[in-house]
Amino acid sequence: MDDDLEVLFAEETISRRVLDLGGRISRDYAGRDLLLVGILKGAALFLADLARSVTVPAEVAFVRASSYGSGTASSGSVTVDLDAGLRVTGRDVLLVDGIIDSGRTLSAVMAKLRERQPASLKAAVLLDKRSRRTVDAPVDYIGFEVPDRFLVGYGLDRAGQYRNLPYIAVLKQE
């Protein structure tokens, strides 16, 4: 393994937690019209696994969000690219992201989804860097609370690298 990486959550630890979350989501959304919306690209791996651990009918979609600024922290402005054809109105939307840091990305995407008047709007994130929050963004399903370190793997990147690691690691050089 890369010398700069220190495993924080092993593959088995992640999959157990994702199964737990999927179970809770399945109970909470039984009989509803669930639309899972992942934020690209970071949520891609988490949503792929979460969707398979959800046992109620669900549609899976993605939205693109990007923030401008330095490579490792998001800056003030977030652009959200939501497919015009995605049917949101009147549906039970669960927004999914790999990690929440300042909260800007999640809150910007939630605002955009809210414009289309979903029946309900909640959020699920695998990793919560709670100590860094500057924008209020309520998260209903959280995998793990994590320290203020730069993390990679399982969808999270550093300059496009490391997304395909099956585990989550601290990048020690950051």
Q: Does 103 bind ligand IMP (CB under 6 A)?
A: yes
- The footprint of ligand IMP on residues 19-58 (CB under 6 A) is 42
Q: Which does 97 bind (CB under 5 to 8 A by kind): Mg ion, ligand IMP, none?
A: ligand IMP
Strand positions, DSSP E, 41-91 = 58-67, 78-81
The binding track of 126-145 with respect to Mg ion, each residue x by CB under 5 A or -, is: --------------------
- Residue in 110, 115, 113, 106 with CA at minimum distance from that of residue 134: 106
Q: Which does 128 bind (CB under 5 to 8 A by kind): ligand IMP, Mg ion, none?
A: none
59/157 with CB nearer Mg ion: 157
Strand ranges of the sheet holding 120-128, from the earlier edge strand across to the other edge: 78-81, 58-67, 34-40, 92-100, 120-128, 141-145
Written as one string, the DSSP assignment of 137-169 is ---SEEEEE--SS-EEBTTB-BTTBSTT-SSEE
Q: Does 109 bind ligand IMP (CB under 6 A)?
A: no
- Per CB under 6 A, the list member of 18, 37, 156, 169 interacting with ligand IMP is 156
32/150 with CB nearer Mg ion: 150
CA torsion 169→170→171→174, rounded to 10°? 160
Rounded (5°) CA angle 150-38-152: 20
- Per CB under 6 A, the list member of 18, 35, 54, 104 interacting with ligand IMP is 104
Residues found near ligand IMP in the complex (CB under 6 A): 42, 67, 74, 97, 99-106, 129, 150-152, 156
Residues carrying an active site annotation: 101
Residues found near Mg ion in the complex (CB under 5 A): 157
